[in-house]
Amino acid sequence: MNLEQLRSFVEVARTGHFTRAAEELHLAQPSLSRQITALERDLGAPLLTRDRAGSRLTAAGEALLPLARRMLADADTVRHDLAELAGLRRGRVRLGATPTLCISLVAEVLSAFHAAHPAIELHLSEHGSRRLLDQLAAGELDLALITTSDPATAERFAVAPLLVEELVVVSAASAPAVTKASSISLAEVAALPQIVFSSTYDLRGATDAAFAAAGLTPEVVLEGAEMDAVLRFVERGLGVAIVPAMVLHDRAGLRSVRLRDPKLGRTISLARPADVEPTAAVAVMQRTVASTARAFAASAGATMRLAS
């Protein structure tokens, strides 16, 4: 049984004539007759009686007719839905990102994507990289922007590095610069009043490890804040903070200086399940993320570059 046979059967039932049905379907009558005969043979029962007055449904044909109509309607719905998805008139993308990326790169990504494809449903999950990878593994996300460099990640997911960015020291633009030099050492930063992130941030772990490796104890004035709060506190002059260069986007109230001895940085990657083929909407989101990352790298100067 196939859809062409069902369509021929439904048309004969509707018109009551093989000749008229063949004309409506743009088929030769012998071809139409062969389709009906093949359908009857597959089902093991006659579906139509034929006489000079036309064609009438048998009991088997009466039983099949509503089922055939429903199957053809379902097939049309599938075609329509797939056509809409291919044209991005429908669909869903579930994107995860770390907090530092949500207020910078992701804001630009979602703005560009929604402007181009307003009918696509967007879901955003904001967590640290480890939690995002757990959600990705559980099927709760389609894509995740992460900053972890754990080798095991590449074994479980398809991971595409996007950007390599430096961590910089930010201070209030309204206050005197923390240094007249073009960069500042980690030892100099340790002596400044600092606002540090919550322990759940990947960034906090990286900076704590750098201070410990250098045998330094930073002067912390405020601990446990989230990214947006940290930036606002710095703007108000409460202290300095070590942040990714990307978060300075559209932050006129902050000034930054590059870090040295050592330089600190991170790689931003886009991860997805390795065993799941992305939908059309997800594939377009991947391209939007990549193009937005290129734009960020082009505008950031020396503090950010495309990952090789």
User: Is 173 in the same domain as 248?
Assistant: yes
User: Is 114 in the same domain as 179?
Assistant: yes
The pLDDT score that the predictor gives to residue 81 is 67
pLDDT one-digit tens code per residue, 147-174? 877 777 777 899 999 999 999 999 999 9
Tokens of 230: 């940290």
Question: Domain ends where: 41, 71, 86?
Answer: 86
User: Is 72 in the same domain as 181?
Assistant: no
The pLDDT score that the predictor gives to residue 91 is 83
The pLDDT score that the predictor gives to residue 119 is 87
pLDDT at 117 over 80: yes
pLDDT at 88 over 70: yes
CATH of the domain at 195: 3.40.190.290
The pLDDT score that the predictor gives to residue 223 is 93
The band of 297, judged by pLDDT with boundaries at 50, 70 and 90, is confident
By residue range, what is the domain housing residue 226? 93-308
Tokens of 110: 């979602």
Q: What is the pTM of this model?
A: 0.69
Lowest mean pLDDT among 58-62, 84-88, 139-143, 298-302: 84-88
User: Is 192 in the same domain as 218?
Assistant: yes
Q: How many domains does the chain have?
A: 2
The band of 241, judged by pLDDT with boundaries at 50, 70 and 90, is very high
pLDDT at 64 over 90: yes
User: Is 104 in the same domain as 207?
Assistant: yes
pLDDT one-digit tens code per residue, 118-138? 989 999 999 988 899 999 998
d(CA 217, CA 286): 41
Question: Domain ends where: 86, 102, 129?
Answer: 86
User: Is 143 in the same domain as 255?
Assistant: yes
Tokens of 26: 């743009």
The pLDDT score that the predictor gives to residue 85 is 66
pLDDT at 278 over 80: yes
Question: Domain ends where: 68, 86, 104?
Answer: 86
User: Is 253 in the same domain as 225?
Assistant: yes
pLDDT at 2 over 70: yes
User: Is 118 in the same domain as 154?
Assistant: yes
The band of 218, judged by pLDDT with boundaries at 50, 70 and 90, is very high
User: Is 33 in the same domain as 128?
Assistant: no
The pLDDT score that the predictor gives to residue 82 is 66
The pLDDT score that the predictor gives to residue 200 is 79
Residue with the bigger pLDDT between 300 and 25: it is: 25
User: Is 53 in the same domain as 151?
Assistant: no
User: Is 68 in the same domain as 99?
Assistant: no
Greatest mean pLDDT range, 184-193, 220-229, 243-252, 279-288: 184-193
User: Is 129 in the same domain as 30?
Assistant: no
